[in-house]
Each structure stands twice: as structure tokens, then as C-alpha cells.
A and B are shown apart, each in its own frame.
Chain A
Amino acid sequence: MSVIEVRGLRKSYPDTVAVDGVDLSIAQGEIFALLGPNGAGKTTTVEILEGFRKRDSGEVSVLGMDPQVTGHDAREFRDRIGIVLQSTSDAGDLTVAETMHHFSGYYANPRNADEVIASVGLSEKSGSLIRTLSGGQRRRLDVGLGIIGSPELLFLDEPTTGFDPEARRSFWELINSLRNLGTTILLTTHYLDEAEALADRVAVINKGKILEISTPANLGGRSTSLARVQWESNGAMIEELTSEPTAVVQRLSSQFNGEIPKLIVSRPTLEDIYLEMIEAVGGSVE
């Protein structure tokens, strides 16, 4: 069953076409990442799905509802989704627990506030004012507030921007634990390693159009692309692209009679593939 169904979505602003015919189908329980440079149309697409923006044309169904609903239907729609925005920096004069308990009161079937605080690793900070939290802790609180209403679908907009590597890893663990609850997650990110670590499928979007939708391992023919073997010979690095890297290594090994100097065997990273795709259509990555 698909949780998000989008056909021919279009949205223009006075000076630019932000979304230019996007099709998407996201299944229940899936973690789906939307990748693309700044201004590619990621945020506009997501905000249309969240019900923050109106589309110009196209069909959109989120949890079987039109996100553009108003009035009581809008309340029911928002009761079933969770939204973690790009940046929220409240003045922070409430404690973590006060905020979580208050937000839990908005929903029909909220999760237990203290359990959610524990699940985002903030139990020790429960009684602290939000303004005393670190950036990473605030982001965890944001995610906690996003899941307090037991959403069927969670939107995560660039959740780890500005994180140090350690904070990012522990954040990924948190998101993976949501996967086990069966929550469908739509994630936008700048970080390719993040998409690779979390997403079941990724879509690359540029200039309002989807370039490809695939698993991280198969994107851009990555799994079948040539391997790169690099080694040192006479003080210079040599490289060879091959579909049979094992044979090349064997050949080199006998040539060097054992250890191959500075040997590297690599496949294109998701980032290589992604940059190639964006550049191929004349886009630029900031």
C-alpha cells in the first residue's frame, strides 16, 4: 500500500518553476530520501506533501488524503503525520518535558511523552530549559516532537545539518529505530552518506524534475559500474577502470611478486554518481 502517491506535480513561483512534473510513490514502512542541490525543488515538494503549500496542478495523495484539506479534515490529516522542520529555534523558555507533554496534548493518540523523551535520548535533559540544549539535543527534541503524535508518516527535512560525525551516527540509529516501528519516513538531505545509511530508496531531483529513483546501491547503474584499481609504479599513481578488478589485482600481484604498492580498489561512491547525474543535466551543486 502506498502512503504517498504523486502524479504530475507542478508548482511555479512568479520567477521560477520550482516543481516541474514530479511523480512519486512511497510505500508504507519505507524510508525514502529526496536528494538534490539547493533550489532543486526538494523543499517545495515536501511542503506540498505536508500541506504547507498549494500545488498548481497534479494529483497528490498522502495517507489517502489530499494535503490541501482545510478545517477539521486538516486537523485529522496533521494528526496522522509528523513534521520535523529544517530549523526551529524557539526562545526555549520551556523545559523538554513541558514541551513534550504540551505537544502530546494536540493529538488524538499521542505516545507517552516520557517514553518519547527517553527514545530520543533526552531523559537526563528532561527538566532542562530548551535554551540550554546543544544543537544536536535540540534536533533530537525536534524529532521527538515530530513523533509524539504516533505518526504514520514522518517528514524529516535535512535533519543532521550542522552535526558533528558522532552526533550524526547516533541520530541515524534513532531514525533506524523508527523504521522498526513501521513509520514511513520521507527524508530530504544534502548528505549522500546519510541517504546511503538510512534510505531504502532515493530520488534525485534537479530543476524541479526527478532524474532517477532507485536504491542507494543501484542508483545511476552504480552496482554495475566499473571498478577503479589504483597503485603506485615508479613513484607515480596509476589507475585502471575494469569490470574484473580481482583479475587485475592478481595480475599486479604476480607482476610485483607479492604486495602491490599503495593498492586501492574502489567503486564510485553514491556521491560520485550523484554529482555525475546533476552535472550531466547542467546543474550545479553548491
Chain B
Amino acid sequence: MKTLPSMLTLGIRRGNIEIRQFSRQRESVVFTLLFPVMLMAIFGSVFKDTIAPGVTFSQYFVAGMIASGLVNSGFQQLAIIIPMERDFGSLKRLRGTPMPVASYFIGKTILVLASMFIQLILLLAGGVLFFGVHLPTAPSKWITFIWLTILGTAASTALGIAFSAVPKSGRGASAVVSPVVIILQFFSGVFFIFTQLPAWMQQVAAIFPLKWLCQGMRSVFLPDSFATQEVAKSWETGKTAVILVVWLIVGLAFAIRTFKWERS
């Protein structure tokens, strides 16, 4: 008698099939991948002012959009797709097979990584080609970029799975999830310069991870001289890492406890 395939093998196969499914859903491809790029094109073209020596608003905005990309491909995508799969009954069907739960989550993480990767390439390419964003040359900046992306994606994925228990139906999921993301983007200084927002908005945003992701991405893509323009007069790199780790743990704890296989 042959043995059951390993959790990791099945997780990778899930990832493969998830990507294939995703690439065939025109709405999700447009919404998840192209929407951020379109937003960047619009905002970047409208606001061309220089906001600090050597820093244009479009550069500032591109850093924010890259941070948002992590939230879009993880949190937003999963919190919308999972309730739909639950409504369709596909989650319950999967649960009736010998595939382990962990493989399902590994598959979703692979999907998030793939769509995030494509989104990052599009945003970076668009930013460099059209909006004068300079890719950093210092290795230390790339190191920051890499850990920020990994940690941000992990937290965003875990929180997306956790939040998938909130929408009551698949059809209503996007109406519940999208406003959360958009409001968070406004509060966290994606569309406006963070320091120009009212203090209470800044304080609310500081609780959530997107503000820290934005600030972290600015530390990568804007000159170091701009650090003095931040609220704390510094990039607060260490604090950013801590807050993202806390959110990752919170996300995982909720994801494990609240995940629902079927519509109640």
C-alpha cells in the first residue's frame, strides 16, 4: 500500500492549481494586478509637485503603492476569495479529502507570493519608467526591501485568512473587505503625505500594519535625507519590524481559530 503524499508536496500542487485558477479569472487578474498600477498611473500623473529636496509626490506615492500591493495580494485577495470558495462548497469538498489543511494554506501563500511578485514588478517598472523613481543601489536598502516584503506578505496573508471569517457571504465579501483596505490606505498615507494628515488619523493608522509598510518602503525608495520628514524624524526600522511581527502573530492566531470550512 502506497502512502499519502506529504503536506508540502500537496501544498505546492495546491499553489500550482491556485495560480492556474487565478490566471483564468479575468476580474481577479484585473482587480488584483492592474488596479494598483492604474491607480499609480493616475495619481502619479496628477500630482507632480516636489515635496522635499529631490523627492516628488509620485515617488512618495509609488512607495505607498508598493506597500499597498502587499495588502492587496494578501489580505484583500484572500479575504475575498476564501468566503467565495466557502459559499461554492469547494472548501467543504476539500475538507472531505485526505489533503491536510496546512497544504491548503501553503497553496494560498504560494498564490499570494506569485501575484505579489507580478504586482511588485509592474509597480517598480512603472515607477522607474514613468515617475522618476530611483531603484536603490545600496545593498542595505535591498535587504530592508526583502525582509519588509517577506514579513509584510506573511502578515498580510495570515490576516487575510483570519479576516475571511468576517464576510457572511461570498457575494458580499468584496463589499466588506475593500472599504477596509481603502480607508486604511487613506489613513496610512498612501494617497496623501502622511505627515499632512490630521494627528488622530495618524494615530489610528499607527495601530495598523500598512502605515509601517509604507514608511518602510519609503526608507527603501526615498533618499535618506527624507527620514527627517517623517513623524518620528526617522525611518523607525526596528519598530516597523516589531509591529509587523506582532500583526503576523495576531493574524495566525485568529486564522487558526476562526477559519470556517462551510457557511454556517
Contact = CB atoms under 8 A, between A and B. Distances in A.
Interface residues of B, number: 25
Interface string B85-99: 100111011011111
A199 interface: no
A88 B89 contact: yes
Nearest to B2: A108
A76 B4 CA distance: 8
Interface in B1-47: 1-5, 10, 13, 17, 20-21, 24-25
A163 interface: no
A238 B19 CA distance: 69
B89 A85 contact: yes
Contact of A106 (B5, B85, B90, B92): B5
B129 to A, nearest CB: 32
Nearest to A93: B24
A52 B96 CA distance: 8
Contact of B92 (A52, A91, A107): A52
- Range for the number of chain A residues in contact with chain B: 20 to 34
Contacts of A149: 97-98
B5 A91 contact: no
A89 B89 contact: yes
Nearest to A89: B88
Nearest to B14: A102
A87 B262 CA distance: 12
Given A87-B89, A93-B24, A108 B97 contact: no
Interface of B: 1-5, 10, 13, 17, 20-21, 24-25, 84-85, 88-90, 92-93, 95-100
8 contacts: A52-B95, A52-B96, A79-B98, A94-B21, A106-B10, A106-B98, A109-B2, A149-B97
The 10 closest A-B pairs by CB, nearest first: A83-B96, A88-B89, A93-B24, A79-B98, A75-B98, A78-B98, A106-B99, A90-B90, A106-B97, A93-B21
